Each structure stands twice: as C-alpha cells, then as structure tokens.
A and B are shown apart, each in its own frame.
Chain A
Amino acid sequence: MKRLRVVLSLVLAFVLTLSLLSGCTSKTKQQSSQPNSTGQASKNKNFKVGLVTDVGGINDHSFNQLAYQGIEKAKNELGVTVNFIQSKQQTDYVTNLTQFAQQKYNLVIAVGYLMKDAVEQVSKEFPDTKFLIIDSDITDRPNVASATFKTEQCGYLVGVMAGLMEKEKNAKLNDQNVVGVIGGMQIPPVDSYIAGFQQGVKAVNPDTKVLVSYTGNFNDPASGKQMALTQISQGADIVFGVAGQAGDGVINAAKEKNIYAIGVDADQNYMAPDTVMTSALKKVDTATFDTIKSVLDNNFKSGLVYFDLANDGVGYAKPIKDVPQSIVDKVDEYAKQIKDGTIKVSDQVQK
C-alpha cells in the first residue's frame, strides 16, 4: 500500500513538472510570434468572435466547417481573435452562447436553424453582444443578424450546366435526357435548391425530364444511395443530392454506376474527383467573414441578411474538365443575367 502511494506521488510530481514546463514553453512561443502591433491591429486583436457549432462539429464537410473556415479567414486577414465550441447536444446551445456572451465576445455566431430558440433567448439577455445565426429568420432583435442564402440561384446555375451536359456525348452520358435531384427533407432550404435546379435545366433543355425525390433524412447515406440508384435505373445520368450526409450516398451511387453527380453546399469534388462535375455552393464562410467585417467596421445590419450571386454568397464550384469550356461560358452568362435581374429564379418546386 505504501509502495503504491510512493509510486503514485512520484508519477504525479513528474506530470506536474512536465506540465509546468510545457506551459512555460508554449507561452514564450506565443509571445515571440506576436508582432509589434499598431493601434488598429490591437483593436482588431481585442475584437473577439465566438463560433458555436451544432452537433455536427467543424469537420462535417458542410455548414459548420464552412463557418469555421470563415472565422479562420477573419483571424488571418483581419487579425481578430476567434474561438469556437462544438456543442455535444441540443441543451448545450444556450449554455455555449451564454458562455461567449458573458466573456464579452463582440460577435457570437450560431450555426443552423436548430439554434433559433437559443439565440432568441440569449440575445435578449445580452443586448450589447452581436449575434449571427446561419439559415434562420430572426427579425425582431436589433442585435441579431440572420444569414439567408438564395440557393435557388446556384441551383439554377448547376441546373443549366446539367441541361447543357445532357446534349453532350460521352461515356458517362446516355441518350435518355433524364436528370435527377434527391432532397433530404421537404423543407425550404432544400426546396430552394431543387426549384432552381428544375428551372435551370428547363431554361436550356426544355425536353429534359427532372426526377425529384426525398430521402426523408439528412444523415443516412444508405437511403440517399438507394434513391439515386432508383433514379439511375430510370435513366438519370446526372444526379444532384441536396441531402447533407445522405447526399454522400448519392455521390457513391453515381460513382458506382459511372455517371455524374453534383455536390451541394461545399465543393464536394474531393469525394469522387471524376464523378462530381461541380457543386452548388452555399458560402457560409463568406457570410461569416462578411459579418465579422461589418461588425468590425460598425456596419452591422440586424434582421435578414441575404447572400446571393450578386454578393458572392452563393455560386458553383469549378467544374471538372469533362465539362466543355463552351458550357461553362454559357453558365456564366446565365449567372450574369441573374445578377442584373433579367432572370428571376423562383424558390418554389414544380410538382
């Protein structure tokens, strides 16, 4: 027994010394890497941005990750101080938002509509803190901005690209003139993509048949794959998945059957480089970066803040080389017409 205690205390002492040492070294490192800051830089350094992710965490290949990239960009380019917490469960939202607000963070970013109630509650308690919530619609708070994305516009552009590709001839395309889109749940953020896609395809290729189906979830790749395989069996040779992780299954199915897929939210080409011909982008990173900048410049706007083609809030990822330059030029032409208002894209799905 005594021996155990001796061993334990020795180990403890050893660990404590080590940790003290490591504490010192890391501190000196930090100090040496800090440049002599001017007035503006130190003001920015005192500007603190906190990010609260939902349970997806910052490696979810989607919203949370993009939001994180946005604050990292702000850290590097604007020199602001950033920090983030990954929520483990829904009840963490209020606690985490409060934690940042109490520590006098200037801007607190909440990712996802699920945090709406939490943001409404916390923003009332901390009127001096600014909040940004992605994909929500809080309009009655002077200190809350809600980022809303016009995803029907980028859906339209990838639809144009798909419609034009149907007229091409290559090994991955059949001559049945069918494309498919697979949504997660039948909710507006998904349907706006689908509506844009339908209109885009029809604009350049009115005879194309657009199949639409829903998986009913965002987290089951198997169901996405199943839906995609069904559409492929009905002749689809380009499939567009708007279904979160369930969309991973759509891309897998396309790869397996050697046809094209279109990614969503982020550039998903890395998942299957020869299959994902482009991705419809929802630039959450731009939204977070722009909002950080606006608060820093005292330009913060509360209420709904729209992100669309005009302010580079949505767009499409660089297509792979299978897509001819002539098609890309055509897509850019349509983008221009949407930007200047010649084309109006509806966010209502046609049944």
Chain B
Amino acid sequence: MNKILKSIYMPILAVIIAIIIGSIIMLVTGFNPLAAYASLFIGAFGTLPNIANTLANAVPLIITGLGVAIAFNAGLFNIGAEGQYWIGAIVATWIGYSFKGLPWYIHIPFALIGAMVAAGLWGGIVPGFAKAYTGAHEVITTMMMSYVAIYFSHYLLEFGPMMEKGSVPQSPLIKDSAIIPTILRNTQLSYGIFIAIAAALFVYWLMYKTVWGYEMRAVGFNQRASKYAGMNVPLNIVLSLSLSGIFAGLAGAVQILGVQHRLYDSFTSGYGYTAIVVALLAKNNPIGVVFSALLFAALGTGSQYMQLNAQVPGQLADVITGLIIFFVAADKIIEVLKSMFKKQKKEELAS
C-alpha cells in the first residue's frame, strides 16, 4: 500500500516542481503562466473532443511503449521501435489498399496480423538471432535495422511501387473495409483505443502471470543465473525482441487503419523514440505504460492548444512539456532534495 502511494506521490510532486519552474520561465519571457497552464489543461482534457484527441494520440504511444517495455524487461535495449513501427505501417497500408472486396472482419485482422508478423520478424530475426548467437549488441542492430526500414519506406513512396499516381509522394488510400472506424465525430479517436488497452492487459498477463514472461524477466535480471537454472537464454532473447517488434508493428498498423488511412513520405513518426521514454517513465510496467503514454499525449495535444489560446509559441510550449517530463523521469532528484531537507532538520534538532 505504502509503495503504491509513493509511486503516485512522486510523479505528482515532480509535475508540481516542473510547473513552478515553468511559471518562472514564462514570467521572465513575458507570458501569463496561469493562462498558459489553464489552456494546456483545457487543451488536453477540457472538452469531450479534446479528451478524445488526447486518447487518440496516446494509442500509438501505448502500443509502441508496450513493445519497448517487453524488451527492457528482458534486459534488451530495443531502440529500433521506430523502424518496426514503419514496417508495420508499410505492411498494413499495402494490405489495406491492395485487397478489394474483403469484409471488414477479415480485412482489418488480416492487416493487423500481417503488420505484426512482418515487424516481429524485422525485430526478432536479425537483431534477435544476432544477439542470441553472436552477441552483437542490440542497440546497434535495432538502430541500424530502423534506418533500413525508414529509408525503405521512403524508397517505396518516392517513385517506388507504393506511390500513388500523381505528384505527391504518398501511398493510395486504404479501402473502406480496412478502416477502423472513428468513435467520435471530428476527432481522431478510433476503436484502436480498445486494441491498445487490450494489448496492455495482455502484456501484463504475459509478463507477470505466465512462465514465458517469468523467464524473459529472469533473463533480464541475470542471464547466467537463468542459464544455470535451465532456461533457454537465446530463445528468450529472440522471443522478447520479436514480441517487441510485434507490438511496434501493431502500433503502426493501428495508426494507419484508424487515423492516417495512408502512408505519407518525409516523416519519421517519432513514436518509436518517444516510446522509449514512455516505457522508462512507467518503469516498464505495462499498466504504467498506459498512464505515461497518456501523460505524453496530453502534453502534446495540450501544448498545441496552448499555442492557440495562450499565444505561447510552440517552442516555449515544448520547453514546458520538456520540464515536466524531466522532473517526472528524474525522480531521484526529488529524493535528493528531500534528503537534503531531512539532513537540515536533523542538524536543527541536534543543535
């Protein structure tokens, strides 16, 4: 109980400190912090459409964050989620527009599973086997595979086989039967949110309630001990990196089918990178990932609204969100501050 209280209390304290420092920065630069924070909050949670957009922005972060958290739990630093996301998005888009006449209940799962398999292989086969059997560091391999995926998608879209006829480097629109419908009009919230929540529950069950999850976590704690205990370490490495890729790919697919409906060029989504911070902030707990993804999504939608209604420039809005993230993530700083106060108190008592 005490532990749970502490885990909630620390992030809230961190947010308060970040808000105070942010206020000082805004005062110095001539903005009204009250108005800014009010519009940040209203932008994220103030109206039903705003809540919906916050949830919609959280969806890809939740799913990609889950993928990254699985690898982290197994002690593997998968920083290639961005590329796995792109592989998922490419495959989902391709299945989405090239198969005609399928009913939605086949087309959507087909696209989702296709994307998951492709991204799982992308993350699992090369980095997974390379790590398990040759010891090649997964930071290097996943990162490099990520570049391959991103540039491959540029090739496909810029006069490659996936480019739509016309002038703009983008894929054709996916068929209606592949579109995950929107829940609320004029927002981007699709039923993909339920996929995200189901994914979080599944990962929680997998990591904490099954032997597989236990073995993956055990390998993460101590590879040699796990091996001594009779676990198949290489298998667990390949498995966790594959699962990591599967979820990043699912995120790409859900985003294409639910929000974008086609693949655009000249963008890295950034979800794969933000997901690393999301997972770290949640201490790799699948349920925590949901909440930390929501925090990031709320800061994202809120800061756009802050630009519009409090006239705070986009860059300053980024500074404020950066501060909040910094203090939430660096909770050690708060503990140090606390212990400093405690020490002083003791000295006062002693004197």
* CB-CB under 8 A for A91 and B57, given A1-B341, A114-B264, A187-B167: yes
Question: Can you name 26 A-B pairs with beta carbons within 8 Å?
Answer: A3-B344, A4-B337, A15-B24, A18-B23, A19-B27, A19-B33, A19-B34, A22-B32, A23-B32, A26-B30, A26-B32, A83-B308, A85-B304, A86-B314, A90-B264, A90-B267, A91-B56, A92-B304, A95-B304, A96-B308, A113-B167, A113-B168, A117-B261, A125-B185, A185-B169, A188-B167
B345 within 8 A of A: yes
| Cβ-neighbour of B34 out of A16, A89, A217, A219 (below 8 A) | A16
A125 to chain B, nearest CB (A): 6
How far apart sit A85 and B317, CA to CA, in the bound complex (Å)? Answer: 11
| Cβ-neighbour of B304 out of A96, A103, A116 (below 8 A) | A96
- When the two chains form their complex, are residues B304 and A125 in contact, meaning their CB atoms are under 8 A apart? no
Name the residue of chain A whose CB is nearest to the CB of B266.
A218
Chain A 84-122 interface 0/1 with B at a Cβ cutoff of 8 Å (1 = within):
111111111011101110110000000001101100000
| Cβ-neighbour of A95 out of B35, B167, B188, B270 (below 8 A) | B188
Given contacts A85-B307, A217-B154, A219-B266, 7 further A-B contacts (CB under 8 A): A1-B341, A16-B34, A19-B23, A26-B30, A114-B266, A188-B167, A189-B167
How far apart sit A15 and B303, CA to CA, in the bound complex (Å)? Answer: 21
* CB-CB under 8 A for A11 and B20, given A89-B269, A98-B186, A99-B305: yes
How far apart sit A87 and B27, CA to CA, in the bound complex (Å)? Answer: 25
How far apart sit A98 and B307, CA to CA, in the bound complex (Å)? Answer: 15
Chain B 301-337 interface 0/1 with A at a Cβ cutoff of 8 Å (1 = within):
1011101100100100000000000000000000001
A8 within 8 A of B: yes
How far apart sit A96 and B159, CA to CA, in the bound complex (Å)? Answer: 30
- When the two chains form their complex, are residues A91 and B260 in contact, meaning their CB atoms are under 8 A apart? yes
Q: Interface residues, chain A, CB within 8 Å of chain B? A: 1, 3-4, 8, 11-12, 15-16, 18-20, 22-23, 26, 50, 55, 57, 83-92, 94-96, 98-100, 102-103, 113-114, 116-117, 125, 185-189, 216-219
- When the two chains form their complex, are residues A90 and B260 in contact, meaning their CB atoms are under 8 A apart? yes
- When the two chains form their complex, are residues A89 and B267 in contact, meaning their CB atoms are under 8 A apart? yes
How far apart sit A217 and B259, CA to CA, in the bound complex (Å)? Answer: 26
Chain A residues contacting B262 (CB-CB under 8 Å) are 117
* CB-CB under 8 A for A19 and B188, given A86-B314, A91-B57, A185-B169: no
- When the two chains form their complex, are residues A22 and B27 in contact, meaning their CB atoms are under 8 A apart? yes
B6 within 8 A of A: no
B192 within 8 A of A: no
Q: Interface residues, chain B, CB within 8 Å of chain A? A: 16, 20, 23-24, 26-27, 30, 32-35, 49, 53, 56-57, 154, 158-159, 167-169, 185-188, 255, 259-262, 264, 266-267, 269-270, 300-301, 303-305, 307-308, 311, 314, 337-338, 341-342, 344-345
Chain A residues contacting B33 (CB-CB under 8 Å) are 15, 19
A252 to chain B, nearest CB (A): 22
Chain B residues contacting A3 (CB-CB under 8 Å) are 341, 344-345
B57 to chain A, nearest CB (A): 7
Name the residue of chain A whose CB is nearest to the CB of B185.
A125
How far apart sit A114 and B263, CA to CA, in the bound complex (Å)? Answer: 11
- When the two chains form their complex, are residues B158 and A23 in contact, meaning their CB atoms are under 8 A apart? no
- When the two chains form their complex, are residues B35 and A23 in contact, meaning their CB atoms are under 8 A apart? yes
How far apart sit A219 and B267, CA to CA, in the bound complex (Å)? Answer: 11
Chain B residues contacting A15 (CB-CB under 8 Å) are 20, 23-24, 27, 33
Chain B residues contacting A116 (CB-CB under 8 Å) are 168
Interface centre among A3, A19, A20, A22 (most CB of B within 10 A): A19
B116 to chain A, nearest CB (A): 21
- When the two chains form their complex, are residues A85 and B308 in contact, meaning their CB atoms are under 8 A apart? yes
| Cβ-neighbour of A4 out of B30, B314, B341 (below 8 A) | B341
A29 to chain B, nearest CB (A): 11
Q: Which 4 A-B pairs have the closest CB atoms?
A: A86-B314, A188-B167, A15-B23, A19-B33
B157 to chain A, nearest CB (A): 10
* CB-CB under 8 A for A91 and B188, given A26-B32, A86-B307, A96-B304: yes
Name the residue of chain A whose CB is nearest to the CB of B53.
A95
How far apart sit A94 and B186, CA to CA, in the bound complex (Å)? Answer: 8
Chain B residues contacting A100 (CB-CB under 8 Å) are 308
- When the two chains form their complex, are residues B169 and A187 in contact, meaning their CB atoms are under 8 A apart? yes
Chain B residues contacting A114 (CB-CB under 8 Å) are 168, 264, 266
Chain B residues contacting A117 (CB-CB under 8 Å) are 261-262
- When the two chains form their complex, are residues B34 and A4 in contact, meaning their CB atoms are under 8 A apart? no
B14 to chain A, nearest CB (A): 12
Chain A residues contacting B341 (CB-CB under 8 Å) are 1, 3-4
